[in-house]
């Protein structure tokens, strides 16, 4: 049996906000194996137009993603929640191997199973080219500092 990943459903406003921040922190590690532990073995994803099934496929997807999306920095924000579902909006900045910068905006819907791991993740994402001088996410790679502005602060 997998270990639980608190906070666990049913969610309150505070626990849903904490869950979102912990997910952001995990993704900012850019460690596919660590991130995948938050998802059930049979988790189902839709990420853009790609359909991903199972933890091993998630690891493969994230490995490819972070080889392509360099200097990745992500901010997530709670949008809404119910007992076992959370809706998130997010933005992340990255550059490709040619040095072109992008800000990707999106929404995710999460559903947690009886094992309390995420069993469904549906993400819609759009990429906007930006100039390096227009970047807003400035922190050392890894966890976003607590005093760094969030999405609403930027008006994203």
| Predicted pLDDT of residue 4 | 77
CA distance readout (Å), 91 to 53, 63, 112, 135, 136:
24, 19, 22, 12, 10
Q: What is the pLDDT of residues 97-141, one digit of tens each?
A: 999 999 999 999 999 999 899 999 999 999 999 999 999 999 999
Could you confirm whether domain 13-137 is CATH 3.90.1150.110?
no
How many Å apart are CA 39 and CA 112, to the nearest integer? 9
Parts of the chain with a pLDDT under 50? none
Is the CB of residue 36 less than 8 Å from the CB of residue 9?
no
The answer to whether the bond into 10 is cis (omega within 30° of 0) is yes
| Predicted pLDDT of residue 101 | 98
User: H-type helices in the chain, by residue range?
Assistant: 13-29, 32-36, 55-68, 151-154
| Predicted pLDDT of residue 2 | 66
| Predicted pLDDT of residue 5 | 84
């Amino acid at each position: 049996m997998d270990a639980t990943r608190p906070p666990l459903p049913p969610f309150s406003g505070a626990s849903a906000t904490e869950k979102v921040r912990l997910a952001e922190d995990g993704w900012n590690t850019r460690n596919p194996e660590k991130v995948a532990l938050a998802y059930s073995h049979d988790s189902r994803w839709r990420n853009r137009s790609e359909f991903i099934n199972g933890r091993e496929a998630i690891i493969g997807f994230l490995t490819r993603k972070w080889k392509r999306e360099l200097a990745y920095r992500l901010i997530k924000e709670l949008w809404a929640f119910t007992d076992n579902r959370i809706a998130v909006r997010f933005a992340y900045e990255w550059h490709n191997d040619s040095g072109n910068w992008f800000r990707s905006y999106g929404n995710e819907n999460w559903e947690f199973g009886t094992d309390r791991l995420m069993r469904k993740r549906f993400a819609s994402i759009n990429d906007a080219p930006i100039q390096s001088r227009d970047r807003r996410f400035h922190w050392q790679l890894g966890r976003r500092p607590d005093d760094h502005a969030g999405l609403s602060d930027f008006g994203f």
